[in-house]
Every structure is written in structure tokens, then in C-alpha cells.
Structure 1
Amino acid sequence: MIDLKEKMEEMLRLLKKLVNLDSGSYYKQGIDEIGAVLSKEYESIGFNVHVHPQDERGNNLVIRHPEALDPKVMIVAHMDTVFPIGTAEKRPFMIEGNYAYGPGVVDMKASLVSVLFAMKTLVELQFDAYKNVEIVLNSDEEIGSRHSRSLIELVGKEKEYALIMEAAGKDGSIVTQRKGGARYKIKVEGVPAHSGSEHEKGRSAIEEIAYKTIKLHKMTDYKEGITVNVGLLKGGTSANTIAPIAEAEVDVRITNLEQIKEVERKMKEICSVPTIKGTKIKIAGQLNRPPMMKSKKSIELIRLVQEIGKEMGLEIKEAFRGGCSDGSFTSSMGIATVDGLGPVGGNGHRDDEYLDISSLTERTELLAETIRRLTHVHQTTQIK
């Protein structure tokens, strides 16, 4: 079994460097700096790094060894975080006891370190498994992978297995199912009027969107695994003017793909008739991540990961998460997919986000061994 304990100090040094670089989804310069650091590391062990430039967002990277002629395993990890510029300076990387803290430390800069060191280990131990891997490091996962989805799907062609590097659960669980996600924007046009002298002539867009918000929230059905959330509202021009315009951004989560048609039908029905006569309503949006579902192929992959974990003395449970990830894209392509293969931690997107340091080498060992076994399986009898 692969052992990386002696690499811990080196891994933490790189992790500190990455965490102390701001790389929010909208901060191209910071993400590209992360990409440059990682590119240098991969090139030092003989891998080729192909940069896919982006004008507005950070560049995406596709990484593979020159001898990887027909790799069957893809790894997906993201370089962006949710934190604004200046966060790393305000609360830089630090270690307290068995935990490391800092913006993006577990979501997912620890995973970026884990993937690199898994590759380094396979190269150093001369396991040919590193020739069976293609890595996608994308720059916009936290905002829906709008620019990188097509790249993930392009790399996914002809792949058998997808290993998604979101953080493991606090209990070390891997993610085997996820909800799908959709986003919609509702725009209401009202009729402006002075709120004091001509109140009766106005038609409030804010009032109309408030009625719509209540109706949309009532669509939530926990039993069926459907949630609808109006998470952003804006509108109006001044306190003493009947609001001429209002907008709402709506997040929808579904458990299976069939549900989205009924959800969209109900949303359009709700928005088809204004409650406040004289207002006009427009709705636009779509599903941007399908649900990540179990398949026969993914079940076999899950069992393999759990078997390796058992050999390492780890009980690896399965988890269903409501949050979305890039695993939705690979799963919907029919690729056997397992998510949550990153190190263990918690409180992602929060100021107290943390990494369980002991898991950094453990999960890297698990990843490297999984790649090695998948390569052996593919060379003998493929997972079906």
C-alpha cells in the first residue's frame, strides 16, 4: 500500500502557498497565479500542461503525461474559491493543533495538493497508472462551471472513470449522489409614480415580485427532494417612488432529471398572470447541472474505493449531498463517477473553514491507490 506520511511537510508548504493566494471565481489574476504554480509543479515531473485561455475568468488547465495516449481516468478539481480579493491577507493559512485554516483550504486547495502528490507518487514508484490519467483544473466551479463545462465534457469523451475532488464529508464519506441545480431570473416591470401625491397611479414591481416569491417558495417539496429558493432580490429607485422594476434570482434543486419539467411548468404558470394588474413579468433560466445519479458502473467504482479504504483502515461511507459539483456532468455522460475524494474538512465557504491535516496524506494515498487499481482493472477486466 502507498504511504505518503514522509511527504506531509512538503504538502503543507504547497498548501500554504496556494491558500495565501486569493482566487475567487471573479479574480482572474489570482486563479491564473494558482494555475502557474501548479503548472510548474506538474511540468517538473514530466507532465504536459495545456492552458485553455479565458478572457474574463481564470484559465482552465488540462494536464496529462506525454505517454498517456488513451487515458481512461479523469480527475476534476477547481482552482476558484468563493472569497473576495483581500481575504487571504486578512486571514492567511494557519495551523492549530490537528487542523489547518484559511480561505479555500479544503474547498478545494487541499485537493489540488492531493492530486499533484498522487501523480508525483505514482511517477516516483514507477507505477504506469500515471499514464492512465487526464486532469482538468477549472476556474469557475463555484459559479456553475459555465465556461468550463464544455471542456470537462470534451475531456470526458472515451473516459471510463471520473474522480471528482470535492472535499470528503466531516466523517470521511465520499459523495455518490447529488442534486441537480437550476437558476432562473424573474424580471418585473411596474408603473412608477410618486408614493405620496400619486400613489394610486403606480403599480409596484416590488409588490408583485413579493407575491411571486411566496408562491415560488411554496413549490418546495422536501419529500420529493425539490427545493426552490429566491435568494436575491433587488428593485425600486427610491423610497418615495412606486417601484418601476424588480428582479429576483431563483435557485432550484432537484433529485432526478424528470422533476425539472414539472418545476419549470409551475414556475411559468405562477409568472404568467400578475397579481398586481398593470405589471409585466418575464422569466428566464435553465438547468445548469443535472443530478449526479448512481449507475451500475459507478456502484462498482464506489465499492472499489471502499475496499481500498478498508485495507487502509478507513471506513468510507456514502453520502448524498444537496450541493452541486462537476461530477454531475461526468455522471450524466455515463462515466462511472465518485465525488468527495478530497481530504476531510468542513465549514466550506465560511470564515472557519478547516482541513483535518491527518487526512491530507490519507486521502492522497487513497486517490493514488484508486488510480493504480483502476488501471489494473482496465488492463484486465473493465468495470461494467
Structure 2
Amino acid sequence: MVNSALNDINDYLESKQDDALAFLEEIVNIDSFTYDKEGVNRVGEVIRRQLDAANIPYEVRKNEDFGDHIIATVKGKKEGKILLMGHQDTPHPQGTTKNRPFQIEGNLLRGPGVSDMKSGLVSMIHAAVAVREFAQDELCDIEILFTPEEEIGSPISRAVIEERAKDALAVFNLEAARPDGSVVTARKGSAHLKIEIEGKAAHSGAFIEDGISANDELALKMNKIKQLMDLEAGVTINFGKIEGGISNNVVSPHATATIHIGFWRREDFEGLYSQIQWIVDTSFVPGTKSTLSGGIGILPMEKHEGVTKLYETVQYAAKGLALPITEQRTKGAADAGFTASLGIPTICGMGAVGGKWHAVDEYMELDTFLPRMKLLANSIVIVAQDTLKE
């Protein structure tokens, strides 16, 4: 029965490919910069229209500073649920789509967010509908979560993701497949820190000895912190935005710097953080006072037994589709880290193949759109069946 259902699901998705492309074009052509709440919600309006047309019930959770969360549910006949996740926002500011609208260049689709990750949003809905139509009696619930601010580390979505994932049998995150077609079984985590330093202003010519330079203190701290970076262990440190001083002839009374940290294991960050805290607490320029704020944005997706087992299921589904699938770990952080850190079987990169994310030449490979949609739908059915057998 399962094989018959999978064939029906695949045929159905093939019949809906043009609809899926039209849906994708519509949302790619909407600017949805993370901080553009209205833009993100315009994408959400199209998503809700698609859900309404498919008779999929959903809940909208409004947020004060960012776009809305949308939580849709395709009901199954069995206990449990499988969670599908995707983000509606992009890092591209308002006006980007006017200059770079959706377009097809041979086998490449172009446009801001086309593979990171608006194509994934389309795939989640179409795969869930296909599964409901042909395998509902044998399935648990399928929940579809659309988040508004992943591109800045999901500061409000983390709690929602952990809430919705805590009782999930499996999680599929619809970030794009890697350029070689791999799914992702491990990802780095990321942290965002800020150092603020107070000194004392003084005339830098006549009374320089009366001043206490926050800029000098920051420079010394930056040098020491940068020495903590360990590329061999995959721990990266980047100073992003640096500000300080009033004018050229005034000893700087204030300085700030932001830091981005990437790491494979949470314990690596925790050890690094304690060293950074010591450096911040130590005054190398006497009289300066410094504070450190911030912390982990997105947790690392560490490969555990549940991830390994779910990857084997995806491989099995791919084999039935004659679709070669490999795995890799990738440096970029994503929401899959939150669910994997709860011990829940999680696979990321289930979307269509793409690359050059955040760049002007971002792309998605058209001939992978339908096969990856089938892979998602087939994997959902097989996961549900295998789980129910246990």
C-alpha cells in the first residue's frame, strides 16, 4: 500500500509543478527583509491564501516587532506529528525585487531568496497536501511552521520552534540543499556578542593625560579576543560593527564592538565565552569600565543517533526515486539547530538545490524543484510508517 501511495503522491506533485512555480514566483517578488514586518507579512498573506485553497487549517501568531508566525496542521489518523519548518524572511532590503525580480535563466531560477528559502516554503505546502490526499489514513499529523526572522538568528522564533518541536517524531527544515545536492546533518551554531566600554573624554593635545581612551581599550581587547579563534576546531570570531570616539582631538569616552562567533559544539562556545568575559572584565587601560552582553543566537545542529536514523530514512526514500543523496555538515547556522539540540531527529537542507545565498547571483536549480518536493513527501510517509511500526 505504501508504494502505491508514493506513486500517487509523485504523480500528483508532477501535476502541480506549474502551480508550485507560480506560487514561488509570487513570493520571490515580494521584498521580505527581516526588519520589514509588512513585507514578511505580505509573504504570509500569500502562504495563507495557499493554505486556504488547500483547506489546511492554521493559526497566526502576531508579533510586535517582526512578521507573524503561521502554524498550519494537516491532520493524520495516527498519533504523533512530523514538523516541517521554513522562514519567510530574507536579508535583502526593500527595493531589491524591483532590481532583481524572479526570472528563469535556463535551468536556473533567480531572485532574492529564491532558494534561501522561499522555494522551501512552497515545497512544504505542496508535499503536505500530496501526502494528505493519498496517505492520510496511515499518517500522523503534519505540522508546518513558517517563521519571520531566521536571518537574524530567530530571537523570537526559538521559543516557538522548541514549543512546536518538543513532541515531534521528526523535523524537516526546508533550507536549500547544498550546491552538490547534499542534505545537512550537522551545522554550526552562532553567537552574537557586544562589548561596551566607558572611558573619559579630554583634549587630546593639551590634556591627553587626563583622558581615559575607550578606543585604546577596545583595540587591546580586540587583539586578545581575536587570538582565541581556532580554525582547526571550527571556532571563528569576527568583529562586525565597531564604533568609538567623538572627534579627532578628543580622547574617546566610549567605544563599542559587536562580535559574531561560529562553533560546531555548544561546549566550545561556553569555554570561549568564559575567556572573552575575562578579557572584557580586565581593564588594560586603567580607569576603563567594560560590559559584555549577548549570547548564543542559534544552537549548533550536532549529529546524534536520531539525526543519523532520519538520514537513513531520507536515503531510502531517495533510492526509491533514483535520486542520489549525500550528507554534509555546513558552517552556516539554521533553525534546525534548535530542534536537533532537543534530541529530536532532524534533517536540514531538504529544499531544492541552490547556492550563492545572500548574494546578487543567488540561484535555484529548476530541475531539482520537483524531485526534492517528492523526496520530502516520500520521506514523511516512510518516517510515519516506520515510527508506527515500532
Other-structure match for 1:235: 244
Tell me which residue corresponds to 1:380.
Answer: 389
Letter of the 1:31 counterpart: V
Q: Does 1:288 align with 2:297?
A: yes
Counterpart contact for 1:71–1:134, Cα < 8 Å: no
Q: 1:352 aligns with which of 349, 361, 376?
A: 361
Distance 1:35 1:128 in 2: 29
Partner of 1:75: 84
CA contact (8 A) 2:199 2:254 kept: yes
Question: 1 CA distance for matches of 2:77 and 2:273?
Answer: 43
CA distance in 2 between partners of 1:242 and 1:98 (Å): 58
Q: Does the CA-based 8 Å contact 2:242-2:258 persist in structure 1?
A: yes
Residue in 2 that maps onto 1:158: 167
1:70 shift after superposition: 4.2
The structural deviation recorded for 1:68 is: 6.7
1:189 to 180, 193, 198: 198
Match of 2:372 in 1: 363
Bigger shift: residues 262-271 or 307-316 = 307-316
Q: CA deviation at 1:67?
A: 5.4
Secondary structure of 1:282's match?
Answer: strand
Please give the TM-score of this superposition, normalised by the length of structure 2: 0.93
Counterpart amino acid of residue 214 in structure 1? N
Residue 322 (1) aligns with residue 331 (2): yes
Paired with 2:119 and 2:104, the residues of 1 have a C-alpha distance of 13
Distance in 1 (alpha carbons) for counterparts of 2:249 and 2:139: 65
Q: Letter of the 2:72 partner, please give it.
A: I
Structure 2: distance between partners of 1:32 and 1:230: 32
Asked whether the equivalents of residues 98 and 356 of structure 1 are also in contact (C-alpha less than 8 Å), the reply is yes
State the alpha-carbon separation in 2 of the partners of residues 181 and 283 from structure 1: 16
Give me the whole-angstrom Cα distance separating, in 2, the residues matched to 1:174 and 1:312: 15
Aligned match of 1:118:
127
Identity %: 35
CA drift at 1:207: 2.0
Q: CA RMSD in A?
A: 1.7
What do the CA deviations read for 1:55-82 (whole angstroms, capped 9, x no partner)? 1100101110355774421011000111
Q: Which residue pairs with 1:339 in the alignment?
A: 348
Find the residue that maps to 1:125 and give its secondary structure.
helix
- TM-score, scaled relative to structure 1: 0.95
Match of 2:4 in 1: none
Q: Answer yes or no: is the 8 Å Cα contact 1:59–1:138 preserved in 2.
A: yes
Partner of 1:7: 16
Matched residue SS, 1:314: coil
Query: Which residue is 1:56 aligned to?
Result: 65
User: What's the CA shift for 1:199?
Assistant: 2.9
Task: Give the paired residue count.
Answer: 381
Q: Provide closer, same or farther for how the CA distance between residues 69 and 240 of structure 1 changes in structure 2, counting only shifts above 3 A.
A: farther
Q: How far is 1:93 from its partner?
A: 0.8
- Counterpart CA distance in 2 for 1:252 and 1:160 is 31
SS at match of 2:332: coil
Deviations 1:99-130 (A, max 9, x none): 01111111000101111111222234354467
Counterpart code for 2:181: G
Q: Match of 2:275, as an amino acid?
A: K
**Helix, strand or coil for the counterpart of 2:359?**
coil
Provide the residue aligned with 1:21 in structure 2. Answer: 30
Distance in 1 (CA, whole Å) between partners of 2:206 and 2:285 is 20
Partner of 2:3: none
Secondary structure of the residue aligned to 1:133 is: strand
SS in 2 for 1:258: helix
CA contact (8 A) 2:240 2:257 kept: yes
CA distance in 1, matches of 2:309, 2:237: 33
